[in-house]
Amino acid sequence: MPGKNVKDLCGKPLIAWTIEAARKVPEISRIIVNTDDEDIAAVAKKHGAEVFSRPKELAADLTLDLPVFEHHLRALEAEGDLPDMIVDIRATAPLRRAERFSERRIQE
């Protein structure tokens, strides 16, 4: 469904629900939305996330996750900000609760 991440769901864009859940998790110090879509980037910034622009060759429907993570991690490493861990939270599951992403749950 094209544009689904910015479609309204109960008064806010779908991706906003995910960003807001991530902001409630103390163990998550940085929220970065990796996208090639300008509309998603604008909504993400509006809701307090950073945006990392993904190249078109890593944005096709059948692109695997690993090359996307590797590309982003190389960029973070170049900034001198390689994270201890990555929490991959998809925008398409807006009903999750923030406590699902706490450090305790991640270690289980």
* pLDDT per residue as tens digits for the range 22-38: 898 888 889 999 999 99
List the chain domain ranges: 4-87+96-103
Domain 4-87+96-103's class?
alpha beta
Give mean pLDDT, residues 44-49: 96
Write b or e for each residue in 70-100: b if 16 or more Cβ atoms lie within 10 A of its Cβ, otherwise e: eebeeeeeeeeeeeeeeeebebeebeeeeee
Give mean pLDDT, residues 87-108: 70
Confirm whether pTM is higher than 0.75: yes
State the pLDDT confidence band at 93, using cuts at 50, 70 and 90.
confident
Give mean pLDDT, residues 66-82: 94
Residue 108: is its pLDDT beyond 60? no
